[in-house]
Amino acid sequence: MWDYGDHVVLRFIRNRPADVILPVTVVADADEYTALYVPAGAVYKGQATREGRRLDRSLPFLERERLVGGLADTTWTDTNVLMVQRPASLASISLFWDAGTGEFRNWYVNFQAPLARTRVGFDTADYLLDLVVQPDLSYAWKDQDEFREAREHGLISSGILNAVETAAHRAEQDVLTRSWPYDAGFEGWRPEPGWALPTLGLDWAEELSWPDAG
C-alpha cells in the first residue's frame, strides 16, 4: 500500500505504449478505496504518434486509435481532480474543482479497468464510456458513440464491454440513490497547502512496450 502524500504514476494502457501517464499524489490507499489527486499544472504524457505528434480529440476516434504509437508531454490545466476507485470496480469517480476559484464543478465517472498495482504506482485501461454528474446530481452520458464504435470494430472485447454496461447501470443507480461516494463528503476535501506538484520520475515507462516500427 502507498502512503498519504506519496507521488506515484497512474498509467492508462489500453493502447501501446499507453494512452495517458499521470503523475498523482496518493490521498488514500486502503482496502475500501484508493484516492489519487491530480493538480492543475502537472505535466503528464498523452496519446501521440510514433513520431511524437500529440493526438487530441479534434481527430475522429477511430483515426486516433489507429495512430497511437507514442506519448507526448502536455500539462493538466483549469481543474484540480480527485479520483476515487474501489478495488475490483470498473468505475473511477472523479471530483473536479476549478483551479482558480476552488469551486466544485462536477463528478465524472470514468469506466476503466480495476487498478492494478505496479512498482511505480497503478495501471488501468480506459473503456471509453463516461458519466458526467453535476453538483445537484443531475447527470448525462458521454462518449457513447466511441463505446459503440469500439464494439463494432472489436477494439475492446465484448466481455469487457458487457461488464462495463453492467457497471454503468450500477453507477447510474448510485447517483439516483445518492449512494457512495455521493454521500461521503468528498466535495469538502482539499489538498495539503504545502504539497508540491507530482512529477513523472525516470521509471514512469517501466515494463511498457512500444509498437513495432513500420
| Strand 121-124 relative to strand 7-12, pairing | parallel
pLDDT in tens, 44-93: 999 999 999 999 999 999 999 999 999 999 999 999 999 999 999 999 99
Q: Domain count for the chain, please give it.
A: 1
Q: What is the CATH number of the domain that holds 155?
A: 2.40.380.10
Domain assignment of residue 192, yes or no: no
Residues 147-155, mean pLDDT to the nearest whole number: 97
Domain assignment of residue 193, yes or no: no
Is the entire prediction scored with pTM above 0.85? Answer: yes
pLDDT reported for residue 212: 78
Domain assignment of residue 207, yes or no: no
Query: The domain containing residue 179 runs over which residues?
Result: 7-183
Q: Is 208 exposed, middle or buried (0-12, 13-18, 19+ CB in 10 A)?
A: middle
